[in-house]
Amino acid sequence: MFSKQFCVGWTCTATLMLGMAAAYAGDDEKPAKKQRPIVGRWDMIVQTPEGEYPSWLEVQLSGYTTLVGSFVGQFGSARPIGRVEFENGRLRFSVPPQWETRKDDLRFDGRLEGDVLRGETTDEKGRQVTWTARRAPSLKRSQPPRWREPIELINGNDLTGWKARSAGVKNGWIVRDGALVNATPGNDLITERKFTDFELHVEFQATSNSGVYLQGRYEIQIDNSLNAKPGKDGKLPVGMCGAIYGQIPPSKNMAKPPKEWQSFDVTFRAPRGENGKVTEPARVTLIWNGEKVIDDAAIKGPTGAALDGKVLEPGPLLLQGDHGRVAFRNIKIRPLTK
């Protein structure tokens, strides 16, 4: 005969099964908990001898213990990370080169210190450089904006109000027939004025790879994407015209032939923050040739070749001109009323 401390029949079986399930769940939760401090989005700043540039990292838990992610470097689009290693507060990950000229992988080593990641990597010249990363904000935004009167950014005669991005590179931009044209490609063009929240109208010819950088940090891609089609996932490419480059594809392909004039109408809300810390990310709505293709989407962080990572400060409008010939006209911006 069984003593009272033992159970009988299905009651015993059920009790044992529940106990075993709880034990297994506990075992699975333990490694997951160890990974949680690193899971999420991180805004990075990389310090180099030539200055700093913005970057970002996103880490996700795949299954019980495997960490994966995505990363944006100094150039190019968001690229996947096949595995992120995190143990005893130490972080390691690597990604293959994209538009960098190096042949070896980009390797990042760091350590978690409270709510900040600090680490080292090497640049294309093999020099060791440092980086820091802080947690990115949650994706939320409230309160509708109120806008001021629009400002014409092209006077139709000269480059008044604009300047070259790089002082050491020839500025090939000219005004021709009322339009801004980079007759000699090689330099980007930026406005002397800086902006926070705004509505923007810009017309362009997509005869070459170019882009419009909101605040000089977030690129709306311009390219000949007339034949771009959705991939196996049903989404259009994140590198095509009308995309927030490397991050957000347009919902529809509204491209016209390269020499035809096209238009972007943009509503941009800059990141918000307190005490130097970002609390809300940038958000963007894009109407391309009269069709809404991005609807109030959160931008995870600056895109490749951004001017800087000072996302809580106002920034200029930047027209990319380092690839090929491209033309812009009828650029109007309407800032938010304070």
Q: Which region holds residue 88: left if phi is over 0, alpha if psi is between -120 and 50, else beta? A: left
pLDDT tens digits for 148-169? 788 999 999 999 999 999 988 8
DSSP state of 336: B
- Residue 226's alpha-carbon distances to 214, 230, 251, 269, in angstroms, are 23, 12, 14, 29
Domains within the chain, CATH numbers bracketed = 37-135 (2.40.128.120), 151-335 (2.60.120.560)
Chain position carrying tokens 């760091």: 110
Determine the Cα–Cα distance for residues 197 and 132; give it in Å rounded to an integer: 27
Mean of pLDDT values over 174-185: 94
Token couple for 95: 């990604």
Contacts of residue 125, Cβ cutoff 8 Å, sequence gap at least 6: none
Buried b (16+ CB within 10 A) or exposed e, 66-102: ebbbbbbbbebbbbebeebebeeeebebbbebbebee
Amino acid identity of residue 160, one-letter, is: T
- The pLDDT value recorded for residue 326 is 94
pLDDT tens digits for 6-61? 344 434 433 433 444 444 344 444 555 555 788 988 888 899 888 888 888 999 88
Share of the chain above pLDDT 70, in %: 86
As separate numbers, helices (DSSP H) first and strands (DSSP E) second, the chain gives: 1, 23
Mean of pLDDT values over 106-130: 91
